[in-house]
Amino acid sequence: MAAPDDFRRQVEALRPYLLRFASLQLRDAAAAEDAVQEALLAALAGEASFAGRANLRTWLTGILKHKIVDVIRRQAKEAPLAEEPGEDLEELDGLFDRAGHWAERPAGWADPDGALEQAQFFRALEACLARLPARTAQCFMMREHLGLETGEICKELAITPTNCWVMLYRARMTLRECLQQTWFGK
Amino acid sequence: MKLLSCKETTRLISQGLDRELALGERVALRLHYAYCVGCRRAGRQMEFLRKAVRELPART
C-alpha cells in the first residue's frame, strides 16, 4: 500500500476529473465542489478499503456518485426543480405526423465512433445537454452519467417509473435531434 | 398484433435502454425495424448517445 502522503497526493491529483464528473450532473459549481469535498474526505478516511483495488479513479468515482446523489436528495427537498411539460410530450409532436410516423425520417449518422475522437464533438454534446430542461437533464444524467437504474432515480426524485421513462425518452429524442442539427447534419 | 407507429416505436426503443422489454414488445419492435429505416437509425443513435455520455467526463 502507498504511504499516506503518497495516497493523498494521488487522490488530490484526481480532483479536477472528479469536479468535472460532479459538475456534469449537478450543473452548479458550488454544489459540485461540495460533493467532491465530501467524497475526498470519505476517501482519505477510508483509505484502508482501497488497498488492493486496481483503479483509484474508479474507486473515487464510486464514492463521488453516492455524494452526488446525497446532494440531489438535499436539493430536491430544499429547492425542487420546476415542473416540466407533462406526459403528453407535445414538444415532440413536430417530429411525427398524425399517424405517428416520422414527419422527416432521421438521417443516418456517418462515423459516430469517429466523433468520439474529437474534442469538438463533446463540446457540441455538452451544448445540447445544456439546452435540455433542468429536470429532464437531471433525470437523463442520473441514468446515463451516474448509471443509476430507473428504480433508484424514481426513488430519489419521488417520481413514477412512467414519468421517469417519459423524461428519458424526451431527453434522448431531443438530444438526437440537437446533435443532428449541430454536428452530424453539418 | 397491432403494428407500432414510429412514435410508439421510439418510446419503446428508449424504454428498452432502461428496463427489460416484454417478449411481445421485443417482437413488435423487431417487426417494425424490419421495414422502418428511420427507427433503426433512431435506435442506433440513442445507443450511441449512451456511449458518448459515458465518455464525457474524461473529455474537457
Dump pLDDT digits (tens) for B1-57. Answer: 678 999 999 999 999 999 999 999 999 999 999 999 999 999 999 999 999 999 999
Question: Given this model, what pLDDT does residue B59 score?
Answer: 85
ipTM of the complex: 0.96
Give the separation between CA B45 and CA B30, rounded to whole angstroms.
17
Dump pLDDT digits (tens) for A5-59. Answer: 888 898 899 999 999 999 999 999 999 999 999 999 999 888 777 776 778 999 9
Question: Given this model, what pLDDT does residue A174 score?
Answer: 96
DSSP 8-state secondary structure symbol assigned to residue A102: B
Cβ neighbours of B2 in A, within 8 Å: none
Question: Given this model, what pLDDT does residue A142 score?
Answer: 98
| Residue-range domains of chain A with CATH | 4-78 (1.10.1740), 90-184 (1.10.10.10)
Task: Give the chain B residue nearest A123 (alpha carbons).
Answer: B60
Question: Given this model, what pLDDT does residue A112 score?
Answer: 96
**Per-residue CA distances from A38 to A15, A30, A160 (Å):** 12, 12, 30
Helix, coil or strand: residue A64: helix
A35-42 long-range CB contacts below 8 Å, 24 or more apart? A35/A64, A35/A67, A35/A68, A35/A70, A35/A71, A36/A64, A36/A67, A38/A67, A38/A70, A39/A63, A39/A64, A39/A66, A39/A67, A40/A11, A40/A12, A40/A15, A42/A67
Task: Give the chain B residue nearest A163 (alpha carbons).
Answer: B15
Q: Do A17 and B55 touch (CB under 8 A)?
A: no
Question: Given this model, what pLDDT does residue A46 score?
Answer: 81
Q: Do B44 and A101 touch (CB under 8 A)?
A: no
Among partner residues A17, A20, A172, which is closest to B14 by beta-carbon distance?
Answer: A172
pTM for the predicted model, two decimal places: 0.92
Q: Which residue out of A102, A146, A154 would a mutagenesis test of the B interface target, given it has the greatest number of B Cβ atoms within 10 Å?
A: A102
Question: Given this model, what pLDDT does residue A151 score?
Answer: 96
Per-10-residue mean pLDDT, chain A, length 186 = 75 94 96 96 83 84 96 87 71 86 95 95 97 94 98 93 94 97 94
Among partner residues A92, A108, A172, which is closest to B41 by beta-carbon distance?
Answer: A108
